A and B are shown apart, each in its own frame.
Chain A
Amino acid sequence: MTLDFARQSAYFWALLPEIVLATWTMLVLVVDVFRSSDHPEESRAPVAWMSLAGLVVAGAANAYLLSMREAAPTGMIAVDSFRVFTNFILLLAAGLAICLSFGYLQRRHIDRGEFYVLVLFATVGMMLMAGSRDLILMFIALEVMSVAIYVLVGYHRQDPRSSEASLKYFLLGAFSSGFFLYGIALLFGATGSTHLPTIGTMLGDGVGTASPVALAGMALVLVGLGFKVAAVPFHVWTPDAYDGAPTPVTALMATGVKAAAFAAFIRVFAVGLGGVREDWAPVVWVLAALTMVAANLVALTQGSVKRMLAYSSIAHAGYLLVALLSANQAGAAAFLFYLLVYTVMTAGAFGIVIANSQGDHERVSLEDYAGFGWQQPLLGAAFGLFLLSLAGFPLTGGFLGKLYIIRSALESDNVPLAVVLVLASLISYFYYLRVIVVMYMRPAASANSHDQAGLAVPGRAAIAVAAVAVLALFFAASPVMRAAESSVASLFPAAPALFGMTP
């Protein structure tokens, strides 16, 4: 089907996955309201299952999107296979987060149906943000996602750390949204449009290339997006917000939110502003290098595994920025591939953190993992696998992902950044391996200190899926890589004129 956005009805088809998911979410909300008035203390597992079903239906609608073509890139939302690919990553991230919250919410006495509703709405926002081709829509989608996440971070109201994390994230997030919005206004002032292809054409024609207004606009948009992907120096909120949030929410923030922000990043900078690459590339270069080095160094000093994973997710934002900087299609494909690997391995790692919590105790310090590997052999092995993959150890998807990123960086003559990436990964080996060492080589406090560790069945399934995916992305990576390459080709219809050929 060919969509012509001159007619409004085209948007109905173009937005099918988002419409389906949003409608389903409202249905979940209503069902939950009727249930909870009857049985306020009952488990919310049916609501959670219903939410998972909604994600599956939205995934089917998303696959249907592949059969559509757009007549011209004039719509507010992109209809290309890059959007389909990122949508699948986002739905996967939300599904893993929901699976992991089975049981966890009950243990912490925060099992309410609104949790799942907010997760689903946040996913709608992420999908809109990752697919939007207009800065206004991108901003509103960013807010849809963020407002839901602010609430989810503070979902455990009785826990002061959760409330503190929520407030910090909210204040800094509102601040960064202001930057983003001001950047949009300035870009509009410089080019007369908020539509990304139009902005790209205006700037590419030299109309506003060197104008200080356009430069300031780009800088402010970069700040806004840099905040959401948690790139150094806009990362200060990350450790506290990730640490205080309920762990399934942390998993969603580290995977879905970051993936959506990165997809928007690539749409704004690599595609929309690709013609003025020399204006923003040096800044992003510095951001990437800073992010990789600083995050890995700070992660070394963390005594809490949850905080360590928070810093690790910041470091991974740096690796992804390297892929984004590599001005070739291989770079963008490596970016998508690594985003997928990163999503499954990070969600899996946070899943183990959830499994190790007992009752209202999160048990996230390094000592709490002593002997974990022997008393919980399956979970311990899975954790080891995720940590090795995060470090980039061979035989895991993380290794291959980093390899693709380094290759794309070398192909675009970005040798210094590739060197920084390798060195930063070397540092990261230390703190990832330290957890494995503690897990297997340090005796547990008592012979049954990890007996209560465990997950509900859906959580275990999520861990299993993530573990298999991490392995499969090494041993059977080529179909995924091919899919990523073809998605990226759709992203740059006029390639290579638009992308990567600037002198």
Chain B
Amino acid sequence: MLGLSEILFYFFGGMAVVSAVAMITRENPVASALWLIMTFFSLAAIYTLLGAYFIGIIQILVYAGAIMVLFLFVIMLLNLGNEYEPDIRGKTWLAMGAGSGLVLLGLLARMFSGETAPLGRQAGPRALANHVADVGVVNVIGLPLYRDYMVSLQATAILLLIACIGAVVLAKRKF
């Protein structure tokens, strides 16, 4: 007998797969983008079901929110919705895509076989679950980010400022 969360998991899992396939097979970029949003939402639901509430919320805020708006903006600005280019990539790309997919599956299988504890530190799904139980969902990301990697975080802030200045400098209409 399936529990409620399992039913929900299969529902959203199936939805994620279906919308991902739909996303890469649509010819219309706008339709593709909408299917991509669907994928993001399904993934967010799965994260939430797994107990990773924080990542689930971030997934919606950042991906489905900010990044997708950018995508749609670009599509509309470039007016891509009207004419369709045939796929110019050859058979080699197909082989490479299939190859990298297989490698990914292999890595996933290895990960769950449980025999590959990374060196040096306790890690892996079980260690992660224990850690989450210890410090909470948000702290798993927040503590390292704002404590161990504080300097990197500040440097990232400078990086964003530079990107803003650079974009203005390069895009200003008149010097």
| A interface with B by C-beta (< 8 Å) | 8, 11, 15, 22, 26, 29, 76-77, 109-110, 112, 114, 117-118, 121, 124-125, 128, 134, 136-137, 140-141, 143-144, 147-148, 150-151, 154-155, 157-158, 189-193, 198, 202, 207-208
Contacts and interface: CB of A to CB of B under 8 A. Distances in A.
A328 B162 CA distance: 39
Contacts of B155: 125, 128, 137, 140-141, 144
A148 B166 contact: yes
Given A76-B152, A191-B119, A144 B162 contact: yes
Which of B121, B159, B162 has the most chain A CB atoms closer than 10 A to its own CB?
A: B162
A143 B159 contact: yes
A117 B164 CA distance: 12
B106 interface: no
A192 B158 contact: no
Contacts of B149: 76, 136-137
B166 A150 contact: yes
A287 B146 CA distance: 39
B3 interface: no
Contacts of B159: 140, 143-144, 147
A48 to B, nearest CB: 16
A112 B118 CA distance: 51
Name the 5 nearest CB pairs between A and B, nearest first: A192-B120, A151-B166, A192-B121, A140-B155, A137-B152
Contact of A151 (B150, B152, B158, B170): B170
Nearest to A202: B120
Contacts of B118: 189, 192
A403 B62 CA distance: 55
A143 B158 CA distance: 10
A76 B151 contact: yes
Interface string B136-175: 0000000000010111100110110111011011100001
B138 to A, nearest CB: 19
Given A8-B150, A76-B152, A112-B169, A118 B120 contact: no
A143 to B, nearest CB: 6
A190 B118 CA distance: 7
Given A121-B161, A121-B165, A136-B152, 17 more contacts: A11-B150, A26-B161, A29-B165, A76-B149, A77-B151, A114-B168, A114-B169, A121-B158, A125-B155, A134-B152, A140-B155, A144-B159, A147-B166, A155-B169, A191-B119, A192-B119, A192-B120
A148 B167 CA distance: 10
Contacts, number: 83
Contacts of B162: 118, 121, 144, 147-148, 151
Nearest to A192: B120
B149 to A, nearest CB: 6
B21 interface: no
Contact of A110 (B120, B158, B163, B175): B175
B174 to A, nearest CB: 9
23 contacts: A8-B147, A76-B149, A76-B151, A77-B151, A117-B165, A118-B162, A121-B165, A125-B155, A128-B155, A134-B152, A137-B151, A140-B156, A144-B158, A144-B162, A147-B162, A150-B166, A151-B166, A151-B169, A155-B169, A158-B175, A192-B119, A192-B123, A193-B121
Nearest to B172: A157
B113 to A, nearest CB: 16
A147 B161 CA distance: 10
Which of B119, B150, B170 has the most chain A CB atoms closer than 10 A to its own CB?
A: B119
Nearest to A163: B170
B147 to A, nearest CB: 7
Contacts of A198: 120
Nearest to B165: A114
Interface string B115-132: 000111101000000000
B166 A118 contact: yes
Interface in B68-118: 118
A207 B151 CA distance: 29
A124 B162 CA distance: 11
Contacts of A117: 165
Contacts of B152: 76, 134, 136-137, 140
Contact of A118 (B147, B169, B175): B169
Contacts of B158: 22, 121, 124-125, 144
A7 B165 CA distance: 33
Which of B123, B168, B169 has the most chain A CB atoms closer than 10 A to its own CB?
A: B169
A191 B156 CA distance: 25
A157 B152 CA distance: 32
Contacts of B170: 151, 154, 157
B101 to A, nearest CB: 18
B5 to A, nearest CB: 32
A11 B120 CA distance: 26
A151 B151 contact: no
Contacts of B150: 8, 11
A463 to B, nearest CB: 28
Contacts of A11: 150-151
B175 to A, nearest CB: 7
A112 B169 CA distance: 9
Contact of A202 (B119, B163, B166): B119
A503 to B, nearest CB: 24
Contacts of A136: 149, 152
Nearest to A29: B165
Nearest to A201: B120
Contacts of A29: 165
Contacts of B119: 190-192, 202, 207-208
A140 B157 CA distance: 10
A125 B156 CA distance: 10
